[in-house]
Amino acid sequence: MHQNGTMTNPRLAVVILAAGQGTRMKSARPKILHELAGIPLVGHVLSTASELDAAHVVAVVRHERDAVATVIAEHLPTAIIVDQDELAGTGRAVELALSGLPDDFDGDVVVLSADVPLLDAATVNGLVASHTRMNNALTLLSAFFSDPTGAGRILRSADGAFEGIVEQKDATSEQLLVTEINAGVYVFDVARLRAALAAIGTENAQQEKYLTDAAAGIRSAGGRIEAVPVGDPWLVVGINDRAQLGAAGVELNARIVRRWQLAGVTVVDPATTWIDLQASIAEDVEILPGTQIKGVTTIERGATIGPDTTLVDCEVGENATVKRTDATLAVIGAGASVGPFAYLRPGSYLGDNGKIGTFVETKNSRIGAGSKVPHLSYIGDTTVGEGTNLGAGTITANYDDLAKHPTEIGSHVHSGAHNVFVAPVRIGDGAKTGAGTIVRKDVPAGALAITVAPQRNIVGWVEEKRPGTDAAEAAAAANEELAD
């Protein structure tokens, strides 16, 4: 039984080549751990492998072995990890992968590359079906590229039959003119594959054991080989550098955006809207320009997101409005309003019909239904009840330079402008605070808290202390007018 509840195919195994260093990426991070649409490159390939319902999935690793193996285990815990040894090449990697299969396995082996992230399970399943139907020893995907530089070329006879694969560095000038490339996606009969790999050497420009040389061995042994061109070349594009990563990201995002548009989501400007694969968006959501919906963010029906908004792993309720906001691990209730220029840090919760307004930062705080923090405030480690309004410039001072402390503000509280609540402190239901109040002690329910000193006016101060200034002259003229 497969982990998603479907039956596995006992005659199918998948090998994922994940050992390469990826030097052209010029990165301290392994190439296949770079992300597209919120998922590492190898994660995309593991997802495809999982959908094939193969009985066995084997990943071959080497560069940054532990980091890569950890990510593989996170995305597909049932995958078998095999380490590549000092002998280089994809042929050697597959040879080692076969050692991870049961000794009595006698089915077909699908070989995928961890840096080819856009390939979908439907395409691979079609390749497997063709392989089985035609009783092939090897079936591989090919593609036609206008610029095939760097890729192995498919060689065909005059009648179009498969003749071989030649790598870029081993190709003749005539062979380099071929635009049909080897996509690096294979289905092998395992017995034919084992025999061919045993005979492969390293007599080539790279001094590696090429998997592509297995095709020649299988063909010479009388095995039938078929190269099947893929209709959509993007499905087999490999990622070797940052430029290719960026181009693949744009293409994948365009497909994700289109999918949501066809599902009933309005995306005003697809070119400036980025949506990760794991996000979930309901019908009648409107997404305005400059918006990023990342991670496992979920957005319910009728919400409006953007413009210029980033949501990471957030939940947004029905008919909520989130404008010019940066939010991570936040929950925004139905009918709530956030922004513009709001910053919701992890642990922020805004209840139904609540408001977090302009230039407001929240962190690890729960703001109840109908409560409002409209302007210029910081709310951290705070619980706010229902129907409360916090005045402009409210600050919950939660940190004493040693530890964070909580603030509890009840329901139907109204605080004046420019209040500071020095935690730990509790404000009872229905309480009021005056403008400029610094609250250091608990405020009982229904009480008014004020800390304002009596106002003192020093008459004549400007004329005495700032003689000759515009302010002094204006004050003198005003006083003369009053005297008259």
Q: Is residue 467 part of a domain?
A: no
For residue 308, pLDDT over 80 is answered with yes
Domain boundary among 236, 265, 293: 236
Give the percent of the chain with pLDDT over 90.
87
Judge if 214 and 272 occupy the same domain.
no
Q: What is the pLDDT of residue 3?
A: 47
Specify whether 44 is catalytic.
no
pLDDT tens-digit series, residues 357-400 = 999 999 999 999 999 999 999 999 999 999 999 999 999 999 99
| Catalytic-labelled residue, pool 63, 375, 412, 414 | 375
pLDDT tens-digit series, residues 242-275 = 999 999 999 999 999 999 999 999 999 999 999 9
Judge if 20 and 157 occupy the same domain.
yes
Judge if 178 and 256 occupy the same domain.
no
Between strands 108-113 and 180-189, the pairing is antiparallel
Judge if 229 and 271 occupy the same domain.
no
Is the separation of the CB atoms in 287 and 265 below 8 Å?
Answer: yes
Judge if 257 and 217 occupy the same domain.
no
Q: What is the pLDDT of residue 483?
A: 81
Is the separation of the CB atoms in 248 and 131 below 8 Å?
Answer: no
Domain containing residue 259: 242-449
Q: Is residue 484 part of a domain?
A: no
Q: Is residue 477 part of a domain?
A: no
Q: Residue 22's domain is classified under what CATH number?
A: 3.90.550.10
Q: Structurally, how many domains does the chain consist of?
A: 2
DSSP state of 387: S
Judge if 194 and 271 occupy the same domain.
no
Q: What is the pLDDT of residue 205?
A: 66
Domain boundary among 192, 218, 236: 236
Judge if 181 and 274 occupy the same domain.
no
Q: What is the pLDDT of residue 16?
A: 98
For residue 200, pLDDT over 80 is answered with yes
Judge if 424 and 276 occupy the same domain.
yes
Count how many residues are written for the chain: 484
What one-letter code names the amino acid at 65? Answer: R
pLDDT tens-digit series, residues 40-74 = 999 999 999 999 999 999 999 999 999 999 999 99
Residue 227 pLDDT level (bands cut at 50, 70, 90): very high
Judge if 197 and 303 occupy the same domain.
no
Between strands 342-344 and 331-332, the pairing is unpaired
Q: What is the pLDDT of residue 87?
A: 78
Judge if 232 and 246 occupy the same domain.
no
Q: Is residue 122 part of a domain?
A: yes
Judge if 256 and 196 occupy the same domain.
no
Judge if 302 and 435 occupy the same domain.
yes
Q: What is the pLDDT of residue 6?
A: 56
Mean pLDDT, to the nearest integer, of 323-332? 98
Task: Output b/e per residue, 158-169; b: 16+ Cβ within 10 A.
Answer: eeeebbbbbbee
Q: Is residue 385 part of a domain?
A: yes
Q: Is residue 460 part of a domain?
A: no
What one-letter code names the amino acid at 194? Answer: R
Q: Residue 258's domain is classified under what CATH number?
A: 2.160.10.10
pLDDT tens-digit series, residues 74-108 = 999 999 999 998 878 899 999 999 999 999 999 99
Domain boundary among 221, 236, 251: 236
pLDDT tens-digit series, residues 116-143 = 999 999 999 999 999 999 999 999 999 9
Q: Is residue 161 part of a domain?
A: yes
What one-letter code names the amino acid at 415? Answer: S
* Cβ neighbour number for residue 412 with a 10 Å cutoff: 17
Q: Is residue 464 part of a domain?
A: no
Residue 467 pLDDT level (bands cut at 50, 70, 90): very high
- How many helices and strands in the chain, by DSSP H and E? 9, 38
Backbone CA torsion sign across 240, 209, 75, 117: positive
For residue 207, pLDDT over 80 is answered with no
Calpha distance 421→439 (Å, rounded)? 5
Calpha distance 188→78 (Å, rounded)? 22
